[in-house]
Amino acid sequence: MSEAKKLINELLVEIFNRILAIEEEALRNAGVSLSMTEIHVLEAVGNVPEPSMTQIAAKLGITVGSLTTSVATLANKGFVVRKRPEDDRRKVLVELTPSAVKTLEIHSAFHAKMIDSIFEDLKVEEDEVLLASLRRVATYFRK
């Protein structure tokens, strides 16, 4: 591997290894005491078109059984509410509470700041290069 490739590899690994702990600390500093796992569940609830247990679990790549535990504790903590829809009473639809929405906004702000730091000093044309590179990585992982 060339030097540039080695460096990029090392930087990716370093970023990867630290990001979860850093994001969790950022939340703690903002007065949020949820784990990143729980944040991911809330994000999935907010981003899935029909947030049933099956759909949410699929989005997260975990089993529905695992999700049941997680959603139960989030419900106890007051971040989600569960509803049985009348048209199909097998399903459980999960909704975010105002607390959860506020928490996700804090988390999004962190991400926005992070992305801004990447773009700092980058020219517009260079943005395109970075975007193309990331697309390539994402494509590589999808196959």
Partner DNA sequence: ATATTATTGTTTGAAATTCAAAGCAATGTC
Partner DNA sequence: GACATTGCTTTGAATTTCAAACAATAATAT
Alpha helices, DSSP H, located in the chain: 3-29, 36-47, 53-60, 64-76, 98-119, 124-142
- For residues 84 and 67, what is the distance between their CA atoms, to the nearest angstrom? 16
Burial of 111 (0-12, 13-18, 19+ CB in 10 A): exposed
Question: Which one of residues 27, 42, 67, 104 is an interface residue with DNA (CB under 7 A)?
Answer: 67
CA 96 to centroid of chain Cα atoms: 15
- Say whether 92 sits in a helix, a strand or coil: coil
Closest contact distance (angstroms) between CB of 23 and a copy of itself is: 10
The structure tokens listed for 106 are 């804090």
136 binds a copy of itself (CB under 8 A): yes
115 binds a copy of itself (CB under 8 A): yes
Q: Which x/- pattern over 84-103 shows residues binding a copy of itself (rule: CB under 8 A)?
A: --------------------
38 binds DNA (CB under 7 A): yes
Q: Which stretch binds DNA (CB under 7 A): 4-12, 88-96, 98-106, 130-138?
A: 88-96
User: Which residue ranges make up the site for a copy of itself (CB under 8 A)?
Assistant: 1, 4-5, 7-9, 11-19, 21-22, 40, 61, 111-112, 114-122, 126-141
User: Which residue ranges make up the site for DNA (CB under 7 A)?
Assistant: 35, 37-38, 52-55, 61-73, 82, 87-93
